[in-house]
Structure 1
Amino acid sequence: MYKKYAMTSLSAVIITVNQEKKIAKTIEALKALTDDIVVVDSGSTDLTRKVARAAGANVLERPWTGYSEQKNFGNQWAKHDWILSVDDDEVVSPELIESIKQAFTPAPEADAYDLPFRTVFAGKLIRFGGWNPESHIRIFNRKKIQWNTDAVHEGLTLKPEHIIKKLTGYVHHYTVDTPEQFVAKTDRYSTLFAEKGRKIGKKASFIKVYLSPAFRFLVEYIFKFGFLDGYYGWFIAKENARYTYLKYQKLR
């Protein structure tokens, strides 16, 4: 007789601020996977918290102390040890949800899972350039793995002995609504990088400041076929090169 196995439960954790237009779509997609969705809000002045609660999430409020600390705080409030970490502008595709269900039925055979990403930039799906292919480890067991304490580009405390497997489907990242928002993001993240670098005594050489940006543009726009994405392909490659320049120039 065929035996039906139950799926191992997992929780979804989202950190957010002022994302009233996107947070409902993020939560609704996750509800096909779990009924435990934790949202950690850091001082939204719009309707983000109200929209998230109406969508069925458990909304917590916490002053901003950094990406990793906000995420680790949310993990502590999750009902289950397995965590799916999603940002407030990301939507899990139905194909990825099915892939997760298969991996967690009856129980996961890894310590963490790597998820493929696709970026939607100002309404356009970006298929080439420096953001492709892109994947991030976003599912993990909180008993074994946590977020580190980096101020920029937070990562997980992975060890060589951890087993990591890749799933199919995509997390769609709705990164910005306008190119101007991306410019502001470039300025903000480059400052955070420089502040972190100064704290640990990092230096920026002439090559880092002037040659690295040019090399990055060349790789993303030409060798990774960013030009096939048209104007936005050029804009993203140019702005990523500017980020590389700014972060080292500010560090200097």
Structure 2
Amino acid sequence: MTPITGIVITLNEEARIGDCIDSLRSVCNEVIVVDSLSQDDTASVAESRGATVLFQKYLGDGPQKAFGVPHASNDWILALDADERLDEDAIAAIRNLSLDDPSTAYGFRRRNFCGNHWIKAAGFYPDEVVRLYNRTTSGYLPKKAHSSVQAPKVKGTDAHIRHFTYENLSHWIQRIDQLSTRDAWAMKERGVSPSSFRPAVHALSATLRKLVLKGGLLQGSDGLTVAMTTAFHAYMKYAKLNELHENERQP
């Protein structure tokens, strides 16, 4: 099997990083954790599972995910988030890949969970993401929010990654608060200007996209939950962007 380096970025993930590393170990001969100066035992847990830990203040999504790549011993990189695990079909698929074409990156289908509940509605499945790539031709875009792997070619697989997205609905709202703050910061860094209309316009657009284009209107409570939380996220990130600009103007 072609050697693969697993890379994970973390911030206060002591409860989840061990299982993530164990999952990567099923197909990787090396695991690197890039830690954003966690205040818990993330680093010690990662080291106890055999991972190499690098410390780096958070640079934004894409730059942070790219930080560990030059430190890898292998050209093939498998990137997971700390709350993701390889399903058995993904492990089998990766072991059977020849990986003889460095210009091809590989995508997987994510199963997104809220607690033990698998949410399939309104675009939450199959939620295809590229996770396996060769660093000589491909890598994460330098976007500070919602980055993705750019590769000359992408080949999808039918294999799955389990994404333990939210512990429960309360955690879902907490994550929206955290991510909308990060997104607002990233937009301000890119020079996005404030707007009194943008929060409402993007919230409405997100609602229509999830309910109509993604079929959430016909998918019961899950469809409505995804639509409403997506709209809330969209509204808050632009409202927080306005707040950042307002605070900057204060004497």
Aligned to 1:187: 177
Question: 2: distance between equivalents of 1:39 and 1:200?
Answer: 27
Does the 8 A contact of 2:87 with 2:161 survive in 1?
yes
**Contact 2:181 / 2:240 at 8 angstroms: preserved in 1?**
yes
Q: Please give the secondary structure, in 2, of the residue aligned with 1:172.
A: strand
Q: Secondary structure at the match of 1:136?
A: strand
Say which of 133, 137, 148 aligns to 1:155.
Answer: 148
Q: 1:45 to 1:204 in 2, by over 3 A?
A: closer
- TM-score, normalization: structure 2? 0.84
Distance 2:189 2:67 in 1: 24
- The equivalent of 1:139 in structure 2 is 132
- 1:63–1:201 Cα change, 3 Å: closer
The whole-number CA distance in structure 2 between the counterparts of 1:47 and 1:67 is 22
- 2:51 corresponds to: 57
Q: Give the SS at the match of 2:12.
A: coil
- Confirm or deny: 8 A CA contact 2:27 2:95 kept in the other structure: yes
Residue of structure 1 in register with 2:91 after alignment: 97
Structure 1, residues 207-236: CA drift from partner, whole Å, max 9, x if none? 743344234224424653546775554333
Residue type at the aligned position of 1:155: S
1:181-228 Cα deviation digits (max 9, x unpaired)? 222222232233333334444357677433442342244246535467
Match of 2:247 in 1: none
The answer for the alignment partner of 1:4 in structure 2 is none
Does 1:166 find its partner at 2:159? no
| Unaligned residue ranges in structure 1 (runs of 5+) | 1-6
Q: CA deviation at 1:127?
A: 1.6
Task: From the superposition, tell whether residues 203 and 59 of structure 1 become closer, same or farther in structure 2 (CA, over 3 Å).
Answer: closer
How far off is 1:131 after superposition?
1.7
Residue of structure 1 in register with 2:192 after alignment: 202
* Structure 2 unmatched ranges of 5 or more: 243-251
Deviates more, 1:166-175 or 1:59-68: 59-68
Once residues 140 and 213 of structure 2 are traced to their aligned partners in structure 1, the CA distance between those partners, rounded to angstroms, is 33
Q: What is the RMSD of the two structures over their aligned residues, measured on CA atoms?
A: 2.5
The answer for the alignment partner of 2:235 in structure 1 is 245
Aligned partners of 1:195 and 1:57: how far apart in 2? 30
CA distance in 2, matches of 1:177, 1:16: 17
Conserved 8 A contact 2:106-2:156:
yes
SS across alignment from 1:167: strand
Q: Are 1:85 and 2:104 matched, yes or no?
A: no
Distance 1:41 1:246 in 2: 27
Shift of 1:39: 1.2
Equivalents in 1 of 2:60, 2:201: separation in Å?
A: 31
Tell me the alpha carbon deviations over residues 24-65 of structure 1, each in whole angstroms, 9 at most, x when there is no partner: 211112222122111112222222222222222222222222
Secondary structure of 1:130 counterpart: coil
Contact 2:103/2:138 (8 A) holds in 1: no
Question: Size of the alignment, in residue pairs?
Answer: 242
Note if contact 1:116-1:170 (Cα within 8 Å) is conserved in structure 2.
Answer: yes
CA distance in structure 2 between the aligned counterparts of 1:66 and 1:193, rounded to whole angstroms: 9
SS at match of 1:202: coil
Q: Give the Å deviation of 1:163.
A: 1.9
Higher deviation after alignment, 51-60 or 224-233 = 224-233
Contact kept in structure 2, 1:113 and 1:166, CA below 8 Å: yes
Deviation at 1:87, TM superposition (A): 0.6
Cα distance in 2, alignment partners of residues 93 and 243 from structure 1: 29
Percent identical residues: 29
On the 8 A contact 2:103/2:134 being kept in 1, the answer is: no
Whole-angstrom distance in 2 between the partners of 1:208 and 1:238: 17
* 1:33 paired to 2:27: yes
Where 1:87 maps in the other structure, the secondary structure is coil
Q: Offset at 1:135? A: 0.9
Q: Distance in 1 between matches of 2:154 and 2:150?
A: 13
